[in-house]
Structure 1
Amino acid sequence: MTGVLLLVAGVAALTAHSWINATRWLRRPADGPVRAAETVAVLLPLRDEAARVTPCLRALLAQRGVPDLRIVVLDDGSADGTADVVRAVAGADPRVTLLTGVAPPPGWLGKPHACHQLATRADPAATVLAFVDADVVLTPYAVAAAVAELRAARVTLLSPYPRIVVATAADRLVQPLLQWLWLTFLPLRAMERSPRPSLAAAGGQFLVADRAGYDAAGGHAAVRARVLEDIELARAVKRSGGRIALADGSRLAACRMYDDWPQLRDGYTKSLWATFGHPGAAAAVLSLLLLLYAAPPLIALVALLAGAPAVAALASLGYLLGAAGRVVSARATGGRWWPDALGHPVSVVVLGWLTLRSYHLRKRRRLSWRGRPVS
């Protein structure tokens, strides 16, 4: 009984922390008419994105509130006609520059190298760099609002996390864990104030950076071999003396990261090992997550069958408190909470399996993404 009580208390504390983060410390950029009176370069890396780049690029061309907007697109060795789609959508718009990328040299991974090429080729007059992925669709004032929040927060790097679009059961099980994890376990206020690189988070789908601070941190060259280049860039900014911030970007951007289960499975598999680092750390974190969030419904069922209704009721409370954390996260970031939050224990189990798969395939040197090895 005491062990179950401690478990419930732990879940309650973490859910309370999520609520405090969501209601007090999570930044929320304005989603209405905003003006950013500086030169902004929007940087779009593409590799085999012919099927999804059109909505993204059209949204960039429709941006308002940034009178001096430059859009730089890099075709990173696509084999599906991505560059042709870009030319068809952009037409003769003078704001758009299409670059042809070169293969990453030894020691570089594909995404950091693509972003590095874009940053080095962006107009020198641009004081802000906004990195956008092809699966992101921005609202009309998204860039202006993100730049305004970057300046208002006085940070070097702002990560306005998009609303994650979910369409399949797998999406609904796994994708909401992204926001849930950092709202639950990361103290947002301390992250902004502390110079410690370990207190860092960022989402590469939509990143806005002060150019001078980005260059001082070494840019993407500083994270050239990192799978999680977005988080590592945030850490590099902190090491150089800059500051970072997370924001709810659900009113600024929407992102459908993966089209189906194989893509989602492989997308998480390629990077989860880098999230946890040493396998021992991964085992410890996953054991804690499973104990806190997957065990309570099982304990409740076993206790009920064993004729211990008090223990069953307490364990059920732990389960509901865990689901409440998912509700808090979803409501704070524009996500879907009903009935998805009730499946939170299953979500945590799936995360554990994906993490094991990630370490297994890395050990066998079989991790790859978009036709390139990941090491």
Structure 2
Amino acid sequence: MTGPVVAVLVLLAGLAALTGHTLVNATRWLRRPAERPAVVDEPVAVLLPLRDEAARVTPCLRALLAQRGVPGLRIMVLDDGSTDGTAEVVRAVVDDDRRRHAGGHPVVGADRRVTVLTGVAPPPGWLGKPHACHQLAQRADPAATALVFVDADVVLAPDAVAAAVAELRAARVTLLSPYPRILVATVGDRLVQPLLQWLWLTFLPLRAMERSARPSLAAAGGQFLVVDRAGYTAAGGHAAVRDRVLEDIELARAVKRAGGRIALADGSRLADCRMYDTWPQLRDGYTKSLWASFGHPGAAAAVLTLFGLLYVAPPLLVAAALVAGAPTVAALAAAGYLLGVAGRVVSARATGGRWWPDALAHPVSVVVLGWLTVRSYHLRKRRRLSWRGRPVG
């Protein structure tokens, strides 16, 4: 065999191993909460931090008010310095819900299910999201034994909280992250958003993550996060991750350091999430945090180089080999490209995502991810990273 053939065969073997790992994770180790859970008889606090979410909080809050199977459910909403009337929208939704439950008659007294708080500005050393979550956890019903953190861009199914808490207890973990189904609409969405689930299904050994005490083996999504309150407190809560951009992953690591266990679950039947409405929002949302995902720039360079070799090089090799009259190399490179696409298909189908024809553009998705990562490090170096009007990084 010639050198190019051997090189492509090595590439093919690596891709086959990774795609096989994706398949095993998706079909054997990814937890799936019950669609029809039993009634949860423990007190549960749902915590919703909001900052300038007037345009999209309504469906989120209505879904929370429609939760069933958790008689001891209490909802706490924190307005974190919004300037767009978020608090007024929240109160209007709550008042409308109270009137509907009262048959249209005036209701006297507060709705015990919902508490609306006004947040205070984060003190030095705190980022906004961890501080908002910290305030909510501190003010949550003292009787609540489970805390459920939800973001405003998430819309829960009626049994979502019951199913998530039941899975938390069944898995005997301290923290459970049921990843929502990510809704995509624009070309940017379809290129970038599916990489969230693809990355951890492809590169993270899920069962080893659950069993291992190593904090480095951790993943979580802050859009929908369920924690045992005692374990959350033992880990230091959000105070332990006060200055972390990726507070969700860092909270999972803090739980592990405190002796707790974590788990991921497919939450696509429990929750929908439309993270960003426009390309600038998506671009800036990823830019603010990708540097924290990779850590040292050298690590980012190594990982992106590997991604390029595995997922971008194969289709380029097909074209080059055909021009050079090397059909064997072209065929092997085409197989490599299809293996990369197959991994995207597996991850999308396992998590309720769109796979056709989007998976065919997987090499382009990887290139865009690389560009966003370079942009993240560049803007951080210039101290120009911000989110929702606050500096980060």
Asked if Structure 1 and Structure 2 have the same fold, meaning a TM-score greater than 0.5 normalized by the shorter chain, the answer is: yes
SS of corresponding position for 1:253: strand
TM alignment of 1:1-375, pairs within 5 A: 1-91=5-95, 92=98, 93-375=111-393
CA shift for structure 1 position 244: 0.1
SS of corresponding position for 1:124: coil
The code of the aligned residue for 2:269 comes to: R
SS of corresponding position for 1:208: strand
Judge conservation of contact 2:57–2:90 (CA < 8 Å) in 1. Answer: yes
Moved over 2 A (4+): none
Judge conservation of contact 1:34–1:141 (CA < 8 Å) in 2. Answer: no
CA shift for structure 1 position 33: 4.5
Judge conservation of contact 2:33–2:267 (CA < 8 Å) in 1. Answer: yes
CA shift for structure 1 position 34: 3.0
The code of the aligned residue for 1:71 comes to: I
CA shift for structure 1 position 31: 1.6
- Cα distance in 2, alignment partners of residues 47 and 279 from structure 1: 31
Rg comparison, structure with higher value: 2
The code of the aligned residue for 2:307 comes to: L
- Cα distance in 2, alignment partners of residues 59 and 339 from structure 1: 31
Judge conservation of contact 2:46–2:76 (CA < 8 Å) in 1. Answer: yes
- Cα distance in 2, alignment partners of residues 127 and 3 from structure 1: 55
SS of corresponding position for 2:11: helix
CA shift for structure 1 position 35: 1.2
- Cα distance in 1, alignment partners of residues 171 and 232 from structure 2: 16
Judge conservation of contact 2:168–2:174 (CA < 8 Å) in 1. Answer: yes
CA shift for structure 1 position 96: 0.3
Worse overlay, 221-230 or 84-93: 84-93
CA shift for structure 1 position 155: 0.1
- Cα distance in 2, alignment partners of residues 133 and 36 from structure 1: 22
Aligned to 2:101: none
Judge conservation of contact 2:37–2:166 (CA < 8 Å) in 1. Answer: no
RMSD between superposed Cα atoms in Å? 0.5
- Cα distance in 1, alignment partners of residues 57 and 207 from structure 2: 35
Gaps of 5+ in 2: 99-110
SS of corresponding position for 1:99: strand
SS of corresponding position for 1:207: strand
- Cα distance in 2, alignment partners of residues 282 and 46 from structure 1: 31
- Cα distance in 2, alignment partners of residues 216 and 340 from structure 1: 43
CA shift for structure 1 position 36: 0.8
TM (normalized to structure 1)?
1.00
CA shift for structure 1 position 308: 0.5
TM (normalized to structure 2)?
0.95
SS of corresponding position for 2:271: strand
- Cα distance in 2, alignment partners of residues 161 and 15 from structure 1: 20
CA shift for structure 1 position 32: 2.0
Give a deviation string over 1:99-145, Cα, whole Å, max 9, x none: 00000000000000000000000010000000000000000000000
SS of corresponding position for 2:362: helix
Q: In the comparison of the two structures, how many residue pairs are matched?
A: 375
